[in-house]
Amino acid sequence: MIDLNEAGAGLQGYELLAAQLEALLAGERDFIANASQFSAFLYSQVDDLNWAGFYLNRNQELVLGPFQGQVACVRIPFGRGVCGAAAQSLQTQRVEDVHAFPGHIACDSASNSELVVPLVKAGRLIGVLDLDSPKLARFGVEDQRGIERLAEIFLQSSDC
């Protein structure tokens, strides 16, 4: 079992999380196992989250994958809500107030802000990584860059 306190000693913030995630996923390439670990890692290590997990691309529809948090809606069409917008545009969606986002899908009424990163490997959309927060404007530009880096580590560490 990896000791997260030992991995990345001396580092801070997202640099520390990146070192810890690399150590956590080292030696395992199974996608579902690593996605499960990654969602639990994010949920426990990133402050102020009420949901962290995956929607996976299944024939141009997003289907719920490994996650931490409350039960969630299972299927999201491309183009719908924040996750669907990320899948369709292939651009990270950083939403300061989800209630102002057209078509936002409220899985948990506690959510106020959201960050959704599309997961693209070898030109193929694997799915999206979705983080929800009860805090308004929880995710800034630094958070976006940091979480995108973590998502890249996850993709490089996993067969998909």
User: In angstroms, what is the minimal distance from the CB of 58 to ligand SME?
Assistant: 15
The CA-atom distances, in angstroms, between 53 and each of 11, 21, 50, 102 are 25, 15, 10, 22
Q: Which is nearer to ligand SME, 14 or 114 (CB)?
A: 114
Residues 158/30, Cβ–Cβ less than 8 Å: yes
Nearest residue to ligand SME by CB is: 81
- For residue 121, what are the β-bridge partners? 124
Q: Which is nearer to ligand SME, 18 or 42 (CB)?
A: 42
Q: Which is nearer to ligand SME, 18 or 83 (CB)?
A: 83
Rounded to 5 degrees, what are φ and ψ at 32?
-65, -40
Tokens of 17: 């999380």
User: In angstroms, what is the minimal distance from the CB of 157 to ligand SME?
Assistant: 23
User: In angstroms, what is the minimal distance from the CB of 81 to ligand SME?
Assistant: 3
Q: Which is nearer to ligand SME, 18 or 104 (CB)?
A: 104
Q: Which residues bind ligand SME (CB under 6 A)?
A: 51, 72, 76, 81-84, 104-105, 107, 111, 114, 130, 132
User: In angstroms, what is the minimal distance from the CB of 5 to ligand SME?
Assistant: 29
Residues 18/5, Cβ–Cβ less than 8 Å: no
Q: Please name the residue ranges forming H helices in the chain.
A: 13-25, 31-45, 81-89, 141-157
